């Protein structure tokens, strides 16, 4: 006791250290809820929010940006979803690249880069993932959040032991209750993630969307990889686009949407609306269980010694060598898929054309680098 009286500065010093650590943690915590700026192309005509379609989402972290880009001539309406799973960065970045470069000539394009906005505000516990990664551009780095597969538990908690999908009643593990891609078609009085899904479905219905493209990533050992997964009503457009992609040298698998797997965008949006719904997967080592230590650099390079060993052992579903599968390759594949799907939709539906210019070809993304197409531009309000 006498020692504590003689050196009170030690306690004060310790309290100051604790306060500094708490302040730094609070700063990082609050920064995760600030969206990085995006720079829409000149075709932008409306910048709305998801709460404009479902007002109860206003002032919640489910509310997210909805960008509407109109062409000079009428035509079909397409929707691109990025960030359904925010820990799959190629889907988000492909949506950003298209938003910032596209010129809509005919029809309308709607882009939601952060479909599960809440999941961008946290990371996946136990994965050791970095919180941010950087893309080099001619004007310097752009930093982006690497989010979680699941809605932030601060917005929805606790998880049930068993998640019952609505309305099918299909049983899934409890954590899937916060997986947006297991929550469609959603419901207005459901849990937080179901309400988010319902908001996106309301957008599709209100805007009379004809084509929905949901952009994802999966592990190189996953059976459905480098694939286009389509609802049966989207079979023609997906199959024709796949032929076009293969003719250009890009191999994609074509996968039908399983009728007994509920809650996914391609199944539920296809069933609940008149839209033709597809989902695209690219191969990302960060999604897999065979990788070594995680890092921001691996998000960009896609290089990992453990996956190289797995490839040599024949354990992977896609080609993999010492070059890895870079973020530029993964985003390039998504962008190529969007180009092909929009072109084939137009060829199959000439009375409802969807003509999108300014989206770079796969080869251009590889030649010039992803950052060239994500160079910050003056924001159009």
The answer to whether position 24 is within a domain reads: no
Structural contact between residues 93 and 63, judged by C-beta atoms closer than 8 angstroms? no
Contacts of residue 225, defined as CB under 8 A and 6 or more positions apart, other chains included, come to 218, 219, 253, 281, 282, 283, 317, 318
Decide if 158 is inside a domain: yes
Angstrom distance (rounded) from CA 67 to CA 69: 7
Tokens at residue 223, please? 């059976």
> What whole-number distance in Å separates Cα of residue 9 and Cα of residue 61?
43
What local confidence, expressed as pLDDT, does residue 129 receive?
Answer: 94
Q: How far is CA 186 from CA 16, 95, 98, 139, 192, in A?
A: 47, 23, 27, 41, 10
Choose among 286, 362, 368: nearest CA to 325: 286
Give the per-residue pLDDT at 5.
Answer: 52
Q: For residue 25, is it within any domain?
A: no
Q: Is residue 15 part of a domain?
A: no
The token pair that represents 135 in the structure block: 């893309």
Check if the beta carbon of residue 50 is closer than 8 Å to that of residue 108.
Answer: no
3-state secondary structure 65-94: EEEEEECCEEEEEEEEECCCCCCCHHHHHH
The per-residue pLDDT for 10 is: 76
Kindly give the confidence (pLDDT) of every residue in the chain, 381 residues in length, as a single tens digit, with 9 standing for 90 and above: 444 556 677 777 677 777 666 665 555 555 666 899 999 999 999 999 999 999 999 999 999 999 999 999 999 999 999 999 999 999 999 999 999 999 999 999 999 999 999 999 999 988 889 999 999 999 999 999 999 999 999 999 999 999 999 999 999 999 999 999 999 999 999 999 999 999 999 999 999 999 999 999 999 999 999 999 999 999 999 999 999 999 999 999 999 999 999 999 999 999 999 999 999 999 999 999 999 999 999 999 999 999 999 999 999 999 999 999 999 999 999 999 999 999 999 999 999 999 999 999 999 999 999 999 999 874 433
What letters, b where the CB count within 10 A reaches 16 and e where it falls short, cover 70-95?
A: bbeeebbbbbbbbbbbbbbbbbbbbb
Question: Which secondary structure element, helix H or strand E, spans residue 337, and what is its range?
Answer: helix 327-348
The DSSP call for residue 40 is -
Strand partners, 140: 137
In-domain check, residue 310: yes
Residue 379: inside a domain: no
Q: How far is the CA of 30 from the CAs of 24, 27, 200, 374, in angstroms?
A: 10, 5, 26, 25
Domain interval for residue 235: 32-374
Inside any domain, residue 4: no
Work out how many domains the chain is built from and give that number.
1
Residue 339 lies in a domain: yes
- The answer to whether 253 and 226 are in contact (CB under 8 A) is yes
Q: What is the CATH number of the domain that holds 125?
A: 3.40.630.10
Residue that has been written with the tokens 């309290």 in this structure: 15
The region that residue 37 occupies, defined by phi over 0 for left and psi between -120 and 50 for alpha, beta otherwise, is beta
Residues 6+ apart with CB under 8 A from 302: 284, 285, 324, 325, 326, 327, 329, 330
Q: Is the peptide bond before 330 cis (omega within 30 degrees of 0)?
A: no
Q: Give 144's strand partners.
A: 133
The reported pLDDT for the residue numbered 346 is: 98
C-alpha span between 73 and 105 (Å, rounded): 6
- Read off the tokens for 120: 């961008």
The pTM of this model reads 0.92
Residue 6 pLDDT? 60
């Amino acid at each position: 006791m006498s020692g504590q009286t003689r050196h009170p500065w030690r306690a004060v010093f310790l309290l100051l250290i604790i306060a500094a650590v708490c302040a730094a943690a609070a700063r990082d915590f609050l920064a995760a809820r600030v969206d990085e700026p995006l720079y829409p192309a000149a075709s932008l005509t409306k910048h709305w929010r998801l709460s404009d379609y479902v007002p109860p989402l206003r002032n919640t972290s489910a509310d997210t940006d909805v960008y509407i880009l109109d062409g000079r001539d009428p035509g079909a309406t397409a929707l691109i979803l990025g960030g359904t799973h925010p820990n799959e960065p190629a889907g988000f970045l492909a949506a950003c690249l298209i938003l910032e470069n596209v010129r809509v000539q005919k029809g309308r394009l709607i882009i939601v880069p952060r479909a599960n906005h809440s999941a961008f505000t946290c990371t996946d516990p136990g994965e050791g993932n970095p919180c941010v990664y950087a893309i080099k551009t001619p004007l310097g780095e752009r930093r982006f959040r690497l989010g979680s597969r699941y809605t932030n538990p601060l917005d929805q908690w606790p998880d049930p032991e068993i998640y019952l999908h609505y309305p099918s009643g299909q049983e899934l593990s409890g954590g899937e209750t916060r997986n947006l891609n297991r929550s469609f078609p959603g419901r207005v009085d459901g849990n937080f993630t179901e309400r988010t899904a319902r908001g996106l479905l309301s957008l599709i219905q209100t805007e009379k969307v004809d084509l929905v493209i949901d952009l994802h990533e999966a592990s190189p050992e996953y059976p459905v990889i480098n694939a286009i997964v389509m609802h049966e009503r989207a079979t023609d457009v997906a199959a024709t686009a796949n032929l076009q992609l293969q003719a250009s040298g890009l191999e994609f698998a074509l996968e039908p949407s399983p009728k007994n797997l509920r809650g996914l965008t391609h199944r539920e949006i296809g069933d609940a609306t008149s839209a033709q719904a597809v989902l695209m997967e690219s191969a990302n080592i960060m999604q897999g269980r065979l990788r070594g230590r995680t890092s921001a650099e691996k998000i960009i390079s896609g290089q990992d010694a453990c996956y190289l060993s797995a490839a040599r052992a024949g354990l992977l579903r896609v080609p993999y060598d010492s070059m890895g599968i870079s973020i530029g390759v993964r985003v390039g594949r998504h962008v190529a898929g969007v180009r092909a799907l929009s072109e084939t939709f137009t060829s199959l539906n000439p009375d409802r054309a969807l003509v999108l210019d300014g989206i770079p070809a796969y080869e251009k993304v590889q030649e010039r680098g992803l950052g060239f197409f994500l160079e910050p531009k003056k924001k159009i309000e």
